Amino acid sequence: MHYNVELPKSWNDMAPKLHNGIVVDMRRLRSNIERFAEIGRNEDGGIYRMAFSAADFEARTALIESLKQIGLHGEMDGAGNVIGRPKSQRDQAAVMIGSHLDSVPAAGCLDGALGVLCGLECLQRIKEQKIETRRPIELVAFSDEEGRFGSLFGSKAMVGEINPDLLQTTVDLSGVALADAMRERGLEPLKALSARRSRDSVHAYVELHIEQGPTLDRLGKPIGVVNAITGLFKWCIRLKGEADHAGTTPMPMRKDAFSGLAEFAGEIPRILEEHGGERSVATIGRVKLSPGTANTVPALAEFTLDVRDADARKLATLADAFRTALSAIARRRGLMFEFDILSEVPPVSCDARIVEDILRIAGELHADPVLMPSGAAHDAQVMARLAPIGMIFVPSVGGRSHSPAEWTHWEDIELGANVLLRTALQLAEVV
């Protein structure tokens, strides 16, 4: 096979002739990333593609259009996952590549979208270069990865971890029901159950993602190979006190829900110190006080707690410690407390053979790859219940993410995409 692909001087020129030297078309990949970066972007420069929003579905529809334009099969399953695959799909177990297109509010343009668009470029490149593989390579853009309705909804649907009760009762933090949000986008909630894939339909899952932390940027390395993905639990906690007049109620008589929250927040460093490990993290990301006026003692403090660690035992110990702290504070301050579990995702290890493949391929592309854990959660850790997984990281400039400041340099994106392309071909076995 001869390739007359003239590419700009970059990593590609250094690439040895592995898989006949196939590399991504960086001009096309860059234009797709820039195109999708405008979907859901607001004046503050942030991306607002929250799950099942109009902007989120604009992006998913654009992906389906792109798949069809390049002659691939593109569709949305019952959970809203977008799936792309060759039309001549044989019933062989597929190598899946992808990530997600939904975002947190005021997000950057690469979290999730990078993995999806590099995956699209891989499929297009393989098709236009007429490369045949023993296994089909599928692209997936998972639904609600960011957890507007819990977390990792689309991948959980694919591995069979959702049920009718979850579909009918889940609400987001503003009280919007998942079922209503799905129907607004033309999806019938219970149809999400049909997104389930059998174990023998997926050979492996590989996700390219921005690191979202400072490690690669600080080391000056362009590629991370993930060996383990952190676990997490996410609660919505309600501390209930009594509304009272801010001027006439003596301090000792108050049942001030915010004071309970403030004391709990102050306990986080001690609890992590005593019950966690050096990578344990805990975040209170959203707080709502009611009735929420300046001259009323807060009766209700509703807030989220997101706790992560790569060790399942540590996570369980931290959950007990946070519950104990809440109970003690509530008792001392005459408050009630309750909490809803929004999400629980166990830590997972990536498949050793896939890790080895990615390390070798990245090494052959002179990337001097770094083996590292992921502090962020990813669909890959849910897909691990269905198939062996691997993850490829590219650096986040300044370690920034979940912010309009999120960025990765183009040459790192190009290298990451080439590592993904060659890893997918390796796993799918070129014939």
Residues that bind ligand HGY (CB under 6 A): 145-147, 376-377
Residue nearest ligand HGY by beta-carbon distance: 376
DSSP notation for 119-172: HHHHHHHHHHTT--BSS-EEEEEESS-S-TTSS-HHHHHHTT---HHHHHH-B-
**What, of ligand HGY, Mn ion, none, does residue 276 touch, CB below 5 to 8 Å by kind?**
none
Min dist. Cβ of residue 347 to ligand HGY (A): 12
Q: Which two tokens stand for residue 56?
A: 């989120």
- List strand residue ranges (DSSP E) for 51-199, in order: 73-76, 82-85, 94-100, 137-142
Provide the residue type at 85 as one letter.
Answer: R
Helix, strand, coil % over all residues of the chain, rounded to 5: 40, 25, 40
Q: How many Å is the Cα radius of gyration of the chain?
A: 23
Contact criterion met (CB below 8 Å) for 88 and 81: no
> Which of these segments, 112-120, 126-134, 162-170, 416-424, binds Mn ion (CB under 5 A)?
112-120
Min dist. Cβ of residue 111 to Mn ion (A): 4
Q: Which is nearer to ligand HGY, 147 or 369 (CB)?
A: 147
| Helical spans, DSSP H, in 70-133 | 113-128
112 binds Mn ion, rule: CB under 5 A: yes
- Rounded CA gap, 159 and 59, in Å? 23
Min dist. Cβ of residue 164 to ligand HGY (A): 25
**What, of ligand HGY, Mn ion, none, does residue 377 touch, CB below 5 to 8 Å by kind?**
ligand HGY
Ramachandran region, residue 233 (left: φ > 0; alpha: ψ -120 to 50; beta: rest):
beta
98 binds Mn ion, rule: CB under 5 A: no
108 binds Mn ion, rule: CB under 5 A: no
**What, of Mn ion, ligand HGY, none, does residue 101 touch, CB below 5 to 8 Å by kind?**
none
213 binds Mn ion, rule: CB under 5 A: no
Q: Which is nearer to Mn ion, 146 or 256 (CB)?
A: 146
Close Cβ partners of 366 (under 8 Å, ≥ 6 residues apart): 11, 14
Q: Which residues pair with 345 in a beta bridge?
A: 232
Our CA dihedral for 347, 352, 357, 360, rounded to 10 degrees, sits at 100
Contact criterion met (CB below 8 Å) for 101 and 60: yes
Q: Which is nearer to ligand HGY, 126 or 318 (CB)?
A: 318
Interaxial angle between packed helices 54-69 and 113-128, expressed in degrees from 0 to 180 and rounded to the nearest 10: 10
**What, of ligand HGY, Mn ion, none, does residue 112 touch, CB below 5 to 8 Å by kind?**
Mn ion
Close Cβ partners of 1 (under 8 Å, ≥ 6 residues apart): 20, 129
119 binds Mn ion, rule: CB under 5 A: no
**What, of ligand HGY, Mn ion, none, does residue 102 touch, CB below 5 to 8 Å by kind?**
none
- Rounded CA gap, 98 and 318, in Å? 32
Q: Which is nearer to ligand HGY, 24 or 372 (CB)?
A: 372
**What, of Mn ion, ligand HGY, none, does residue 357 touch, CB below 5 to 8 Å by kind?**
none
The secondary structure of residue 200, as a DSSP letter, is: G
Min dist. Cβ of residue 147 to ligand HGY (A): 6
The secondary structure of residue 350, as a DSSP letter, is: P
Contact criterion met (CB below 8 Å) for 94 and 201: yes
Q: Which is nearer to ligand HGY, 147 or 260 (CB)?
A: 147
Min dist. Cβ of residue 142 to ligand HGY (A): 10
Q: How many residues sit close enough to Mn ion to count as binding (CB under 5 A)?
A: 2
Min dist. Cβ of residue 6 to Mn ion (A): 34
Please state whether the peptide bond connecting residue 291 to the residue before it is cis, i.e. omega within 30 degrees of 0: yes
Our CA dihedral for 234, 240, 246, 251, rounded to 10 degrees, sits at -100
Min dist. Cβ of residue 402 to ligand HGY (A): 7
Q: Which is nearer to ligand HGY, 211 or 256 (CB)?
A: 211
- Rounded CA gap, 182 and 176, in Å? 11
Q: Which is nearer to ligand HGY, 145 or 414 (CB)?
A: 145
Q: Which is nearer to ligand HGY, 82 or 421 (CB)?
A: 82
46 binds Mn ion, rule: CB under 5 A: no
Min dist. Cβ of residue 374 to ligand HGY (A): 8
Min dist. Cβ of residue 146 to ligand HGY (A): 5
**What, of ligand HGY, Mn ion, none, does residue 257 touch, CB below 5 to 8 Å by kind?**
none
Q: Which is nearer to Mn ion, 111 or 306 (CB)?
A: 111
Interaxial angle between packed helices 26-36 and 113-128, expressed in degrees from 0 to 180 and rounded to the nearest 10: 140
Min dist. Cβ of residue 152 to ligand HGY (A): 7
Min dist. Cβ of residue 100 to Mn ion (A): 6
Residues lying near Mn ion in the complex (CB under 5 A) are found at 111-112
